[in-house]
Amino acid sequence: MSYHFFAMFLGFVLDLLFGDPHWLPHSIRLIGNLIASLEKLNKKELSDTKKFLRGFAMVVIVIAWTTGVTAVILEGAYGLHPAIGCAVEAIMTYQILATKCLKVESMKVYEQLQKQNLPAARKAVSMIVGRDTEQLDETGVAKAAIETVAENASDGVIAPMIYLAVGGPVLGFAYKAVNTMDSMVGYKNEKNLYFGRFAAKLDDVVNFIPSRVAALLMIVASFLPGKRFSGTGAWKIWRRDSRKHASPNSAQTESACAGSLGIQLAGDASYFGKTVKKPTIGDALRPVKPEDIRCANVLLYRMAFLGMAVCLSLLYFL
């Protein structure tokens, strides 16, 4: 059994125990700082072609820097002693995964809704979504939080697990670099339409298979005991609505979650002051409630354990 197996297991446990304390230096924030520093390449007076090429250069620089630094640190740690290397790899794995962080941040929204403090709930949800939140009612805030948990169950948990299992922290951080670039510059607004296009398309590519694996894991998780979940509903809505999104990947886990809970997600949303028309996902068998945020997190944890079990089994037997 390899050190990689132990490091992945320990990293997963550390994530579940500690999440992402704001006081702890985090590698993903360093990647974000690098991306922010390279955004100066995106100058308004440039042609669309030059903006695209500079965006492509940014992607190359960020991935090269991220993978290079990760490989050097890992190689040096394992060179000192295998136990040191395993510990460093476990810490890297811990920082790549985001299971508890996603739960903690979404539950902040739930807690404010429970207190009937809508302004505070809007502020809490604004920290985890890219849409405008100032005009959202209680249902809109709850839906936004649920959609974030559902989508990031793939982007923040299952996809990183898959890349960690395949290529360790080097590939895991490469994935997170692509995902972070997409979240920072991948918007289809005037500023980033061309500069962030390559990052956005690359994010679609690297998430294509993991998002579908994540959806299937969420469906399996929905069949496990729990009166609030419907495995058949998750399967039905995933089959019907998993392609009802501009992104080829975002609706995969959203549709499975909507079907599992028997609620309707998505629909029109406001971004940067402009309303974007979006199809709905799922059937409104009942109204969306704040309690559904808790239920979405139960699904998140179930699929995280399932995903880790699959990844560790592959590492053990292969």
Kindly provide the b/e burial profile for residues 231-251, where b requires at least 16 CB atoms within 10 angstroms of the residue's own CB.
bebbbbbbeebbebbebebbb
Q: Name residues whose C-beta falls within 8 Å of residue 87's C-beta, 6 or more positions apart in sequence.
A: 7, 77
Q: With the C-alpha atoms ordered 157, 163, 169, 175, is the resulting torsion angle positive or negative?
A: negative
Phi, psi angle pair for 169, to nearest 5°: -60, -30
In this structure, what DSSP letter does residue 195 have?
Answer: T
CA–CA distance, 307 with 302 (Å, rounded to integer) = 9
Q: Which helix (H) or strand (E) holds 276?
A: strand 274-276
Tens place of pLDDT for every residue, the chain, 318 residues?
Answer: 589 999 999 999 999 999 988 777 788 999 999 999 999 999 988 999 999 999 999 999 999 999 999 999 999 999 999 999 999 999 999 999 999 999 999 999 999 999 999 999 999 999 988 788 888 899 999 999 999 999 999 999 999 999 999 999 999 999 999 999 998 998 877 788 899 999 999 999 999 999 999 999 999 999 998 778 999 999 999 999 999 877 899 899 999 999 999 999 988 777 766 777 889 999 999 999 999 999 999 999 999 999 999 999 999 887
- The CB density around residue 3, as the number of other CB atoms within 10 Å, is 16
Q: Which residues contact 154 (CB under 8 A, 6 or more apart)?
A: 207, 210, 211, 214, 215, 249, 252, 253
Which residue in 9, 72, 59 sits closest to 31, CA to CA?
Answer: 59
Element containing residue 270 per DSSP (H, E) = strand 269-271
